[in-house]
Amino acid sequence: MISTRSFAKQLLGFALATAFAGSSYAADPLKIGLVLPMSGPFAAYGKQIEHGVKLYLATNGDTIAGRKIELVLKDDSPGTAGDVSKRLAQELVIKDKVDILAGFGLTPSAFAVAPVATEAKKPMVVMNAATSAITTKSPYIVRTSMTLPQNSAPIATWAARSGIKNVFVLIADYGPGYDAGGQFRKTFTAAGGKVVDEVRVPVNNPDYGPFLQRIKDAKPDAVFLFLPPGAGTVAFMKGFAERGLAQSGIKLISTGDLTDEDILDALGDSALGLVTSFHYSADHKSPENQAYVVAYAKAYPKDRPNFMSVGGYDGMRLIADVLKKTGGSADAEKFVAAAKGMKWVSPRGPVMIDPATRDVVQTIYIRKVERVDGKLQNVEFDKIADVKDPGKE
Ligand code: PHB
């Protein structure tokens, strides 16, 4: 004869066992398809984001909510050809049967994959691509990097307050460039400044000579620029110095993409004194960042951690925290519901996923390039807390 109590216990056990048998995800590995440029002009983006994702797993363990994380990496270089990114994402969903799509170094890649995520009902975690509108292209996108308007408004305010009156805008001819230039113009002119001219340059390998001459002739107080960091940025800075623009007193202002730690050493002393606004600096003073920088240096001694690596690290953290909340389910609706409003302390500082936009709300810092212990660093000297993406307001 069994007691009512132990019978109830047996029933509960049976119910639980049935529930687990019914959920096919309980012990399956969880596959994340990473779409990243691993070669070509933006290979550093893929390298940095992959580093961040792997560092998170190495530091925190690669089994989350009972599911072992498997990464499947596809190289969508150059990262600016949407059709390539889209085909690879489709392959990841159909052939590799991934549960989550993630990565996305450049905007064209994220725009092209958004409809794949919607159709396949897969969560899509954007770890770098930063055109504001990206998160509006699929309800299943969550972004862990930034937006260009979010970083461009604070530097426009800083410039207006610092006595800069006339600015020449130079932007890469695609989404993030338009976002950066548009927001800079809006905030700077509202603060009484004037944009005297604007040029749009090709995303890949432009010859900056004619543009630099035009800027020199216009004699602005400063140039505001957005270029996707890489060899092009280094070439621009070299031309800026060689053609005497710096010497003639024209200042350079930018979002921190310009002084990204991955290219900062290549920019060399020409970067000294540059003031930029950004959400991440490897020099950020916090215990979380100190631990991150040390762990990164140990794992990848040849590289420096930058904002893209943190976008990958935080993207992997978001996935882990969501899976813990959903009990291991990567169902797109459940994933996004769990991600909305999520908060944590990133190496960059405190962050939150905006429930309205699925973008990061974060602190934007104003920094200056200085040599610290022999190394070029973006040294933070001012900040604005809880900045939302103004691109969606
Ligand atoms: C982008 O293509 O969205 C992009 C690329 C590089 C950046 C920021 C945004 O630094």
Classify residue 260 by burial, with Cβ atoms within 10 Å: 0-12, 13-18, 19+. Answer: buried
Band of pLDDT at residue 26, cut at 50, 70 and 90: low
Give the model's pLDDT for residue 206: 81
* Euclidean distance between CA atoms 307 and 260, whole angstroms: 7
Band of pLDDT at residue 27, cut at 50, 70 and 90: low
| Pair 332, 116: CB distance under 8 Å | no
Nearest Cα residue to atom 6 of ligand 1: 228
How many CB atoms sit inside 10 A of residue 231's CB? 14
DSSP per-residue string spanning 82-124: HHHHHHHHHHHHHTS--SEEEE--SHHHHHHHHHHHHHHT--E
Q: How far is the CA of 240 from the centre of ligand 1 (A)?
A: 22
CATH topology of domain 4-146+288-358: Rossmann fold (3.40.50)
Q: Which atom of ligand 1 is nearest to the CA of 106?
A: 2
Place of tokens 């991955």: 262
Give the model's pLDDT for residue 260: 97
**Domain map (residue ranges) of the chain:** 4-146+288-358, 149-278+364-392
pLDDT tens, position by position, 55-111: 999 999 999 999 999 999 999 999 999 999 999 999 999 999 999 999 999 999 999
Does ligand 1 come within 6 angstroms of the Cβ of 257? yes
Q: How far is the CA of 110 from the centre of ligand 1 (A)?
A: 11
Domains 4-146+288-358 and 149-278+364-392 share a fold: yes
Count the helix, strand and coil residues of the chain and give each as a percent rounded to the nearest 5. 45, 25, 30
- pLDDT more than 90, % of the chain: 91
Nearest Cα residue to atom 3 of ligand 1: 129
Give the model's pLDDT for residue 130: 98
Does ligand 1 come within 6 angstroms of the Cβ of 130? yes
Sign (positive/negative) of CA torsion 126, 131, 135, 140? negative
CATH number of 149-278+364-392: 3.40.50.2300
Of 151, 143, 148, 147, which Cα lies nearest the Cα of 315?
A: 143
pLDDT tens, position by position, 135-173: 999 999 999 999 999 999 999 999 999 999 999 999 999
Nearest Cα residue to atom 2 of ligand 1: 106
* Euclidean distance between CA atoms 352 and 12, whole angstroms: 38
Does ligand 1 come within 6 angstroms of the Cβ of 113? no
Does ligand 1 come within 6 angstroms of the Cβ of 106? yes
Q: Which atom of ligand 1 is nearest to the CA of 308?
A: 10
CA 128 to chain centre: 3
- pLDDT more than 70, % of the chain: 93
| Pair 37, 106: CB distance under 8 Å | yes
* Euclidean distance between CA atoms 145 and 310, whole angstroms: 8
How many CB atoms sit inside 10 A of residue 371's CB? 12
Mean per-residue pLDDT of the chain: 94
Q: Which amino acid is at 221?
A: D
pLDDT tens, position by position, 214-268: 999 999 999 999 999 999 999 999 999 999 998 999 999 999 999 999 999 999 9
